[in-house]
Structure 1
């Protein structure tokens, strides 16, 4: 698309355009002078191109003097300044992509301050805290851009797949009166003289929507006030959620594994150039993703000498060991695996209880629930939901929750709530296995964690 400032994006300049006068714009990525020649590398979001400014031998004295001044001007432009360049396309096999531009004019649209807070070229590495504190500059690095472009491809792939299943995209309230699982980990806000919270999840609202729209999904921010300063936690993250009427946990697990495979395949199909920038190939995802029960996982860990009270959740050390064993036995798909049938008391109140099972000599109620993990990292969690009010109230009381605090939600179960199931997935966590990033913050444009509120 042509605009006032440029006629072409850098990637659109090809050797076949030799001799054509063009206008491009972008950021000064590097500049150097060799004798009477200035070499400027210009960058826009599509790539890099070299622009050469030289004093012509066969021009008029006036033109030679103009170009001499232009060469001097170019070499004095600070890095990361925004410029517009006019010039003629030249085929040159020595240049990147075999093409460069013979510069004729340059306009400085915005001169950058020097020195830069970090090296955009990536030649000088920077600590992640430095990068995130200077995020607008960090995002000019090709690797940083590549991750966010893959995040965009991921959301497109998720939407496209869910639309084929006749899901409706919805947008639920993010300022709420009560928590999905009580008050723990809630972020309070002051709302017109009332106490309110930022939503941990669209859970309760998406359940209510199954009584009308039946199949719903949402891709939106969610908030958790967790005292967790790890590479895998964000205080504000993007949650991908679905809920399906007339379905159980096994039905929605199939949707989830197909979502993961569709995102992975979209990266290979549409995001190959960004994967090349990251020098990463996402793991192959073959369906079905293997399932292992909580009981089987508990027994594997016990055999490995790890003692866990039957019915308790697994922590990161336990999941690391479990994934090592499963991968060694070929029971993962590219590192992905499901743990199913978790103890009911370890899951949220809305999770449907299942049968009793003896684990480690202890009788435990299981639930129709699952986690999707990649190695030691939990990517998603889901379950069949309770769709009868009396059962919900019993589960709330068992967890010390007051049903009256949830009356706005419970009362609609008196008017025909269908059986339903769903899951929630952390989008930035999914990017860890699919882009190779070591920290979920790199998959957020401006991450929020327990320490970071700006930029």
Structure 2
């Protein structure tokens, strides 16, 4: 099969072997057509029954939809064909026969509910608009990696099985690890901080994280992809600059490399690369904007977290990607540094799409004594994290960073209604297979 011709490359006058899936069969009596689909598109194969070998015609017309076939023949002009050319076959081999009863219709003519699609993901991705999501995701991550390298980052890979949770709490997945309790990692946070103190200084990671959240919503997953950044000698403002750069790079990569995919999703006209600086609102300013709308049942006060409804209200007001800065120290993790002139206010920030939070970050506490105090204030045992805290005794530079939800980035970029649309095989409270 290495010498096969892709459908998009078939030119009139060529003799080709095309391999792919039977997309459609049209039997019009004396003439019949099979549409073959491969990764580059579709091509028509014409069967003139009176002029062809009966076995060839029978083999072609008896192949079920979605069977894998290989067709060899001459390519001819045919303006009425879907792509302006067609193959007149000399041979057709059925490589893998498909069951005539398909659990969903890859042609998209008959819709399927999301659970059915996820149960049959291989078939689901044969639809151009579904495949396009994952080609866009790949292009976005490629652009993100390139942008990180342009920022002088080293890509790292950190453990996903850990002895302690990054942030404690009930969101941990416990596992048995050679007779002792361990956990699936919630975040590479602590490890990437250790790396900026190692001499690498500026690092990034794109990898899985695990949260045992009870949420069962269109925007939560229990296994997700986190895009993480950390840099020595950065403060929270510089970390926000880097965050803005990376998000814009993802959009630019899709705009430059995925026009066919955007067309498959009917997004060619509406897809826009974010332009200009993302607005930066303090937490206090965010509360004022939300309360001023009068759309919430309760008035938000200092120390309240933002509910989904509050995020939507604020997102409608801002209307673009934006940051919320200067969060109350009490509702940010122990490793977030407080402002030097006000211990009640942290350097923590969130970066928001108008519809949801995408990024959480901030400057980190690099001073050992204050880091240990932060553990105790949040009810965590510093001794359980000694592998992490002790390195802060050996010269840890000031540093800052963030984590960006990969699926949320794609979900908001493409306006998907459910985050599971951006995952090949989602893991949530109900789904552990496939």
> Which of the five TM-score ranges fits, normalised by the shorter chain?
over 0.9
1:325 matches 2:328: no
Equivalent residue number for residue 333 of structure 2: 348
Equivalent residue number for residue 55 of structure 2: 69
Shift of 1:355: 5.9
**Correspondent of 1:7 among 1, 4, 8:** 4
* Distance of 2:381 and 2:37 partners within structure 1: 58
* Distance of 1:93 and 1:314 partners within structure 2: 58
* 8 A Cα contact 2:32 2:49, kept in partner: no
Equivalent residue number for residue 304 of structure 1: 293
Bigger mean CA deviation after superposition, 182-191 or 246-255: 182-191
Matches within 5 A, 1:241-252: 241-252=228-239
1:40 matches 2:41: no
* Distance of 1:208 and 1:407 partners within structure 2: 12
* Distance of 2:393 and 2:341 partners within structure 1: 28
1:368 matches 2:347: yes
1:428 matches 2:407: yes
Equivalent residue number for residue 416 of structure 2: 437
1:91 matches 2:85: no
**Correspondent of 2:273 among 269, 284, 303:** 284
Structure 2 unmatched runs, 5+: none
**Correspondent of 1:265 among 232, 252, 263:** 252
Equivalent residue number for residue 236 of structure 1: 223
* Distance of 2:387 and 2:90 partners within structure 1: 68
* Distance of 1:148 and 1:275 partners within structure 2: 11
Query: Matched residue pairs, number?
Result: 428
Q: SS at 2:74's partner residue?
A: strand
* 8 A Cα contact 1:257 1:287, kept in partner: no
Shift of 1:284: 3.3
1:205 matches 2:194: no
| TM-superposition CA deviations, 1:391-416 (whole Å, max 9, x none) | 11111111110111111110111101
* 8 A Cα contact 1:323 1:376, kept in partner: yes
Shift of 1:155: 0.9
* Distance of 1:89 and 1:436 partners within structure 2: 40
1:453 matches 2:428: no
* 8 A Cα contact 2:318 2:354, kept in partner: no
Shift of 1:91: 1.3
Q: Which runs of 4+ in 1 moved over 3 A?
A: none
* 8 A Cα contact 2:287 2:301, kept in partner: no
1:337 matches 2:322: yes
* Distance of 1:218 and 1:174 partners within structure 2: 12
* Distance of 1:355 and 1:204 partners within structure 2: 22
Q: When the two structures are superposed, what TM-score results if normalisation uses the length of structure 1? A: 0.91
Q: When the two structures are superposed, what TM-score results if normalisation uses the length of structure 2? A: 0.96
* Distance of 1:173 and 1:98 partners within structure 2: 53
Q: SS at 2:229's partner residue?
A: strand
Equivalent residue number for residue 60 of structure 1: none
* Distance of 2:279 and 2:79 partners within structure 1: 50
Q: SS at 2:390's partner residue?
A: helix
Shift of 1:252: 1.2
| TM-superposition CA deviations, 1:135-175 (whole Å, max 9, x none) | 11111111111001111001100011111121100000110
Equivalent residue number for residue 419 of structure 1: 398
| TM-superposition CA deviations, 1:196-249 (whole Å, max 9, x none) | 111111000000000120010000111110011111111111110010000011
Structure 1 unmatched runs, 5+: 58-63, 328-334, 358-363
Q: SS at 1:338's partner residue?
A: strand
Q: SS at 2:336's partner residue?
A: coil
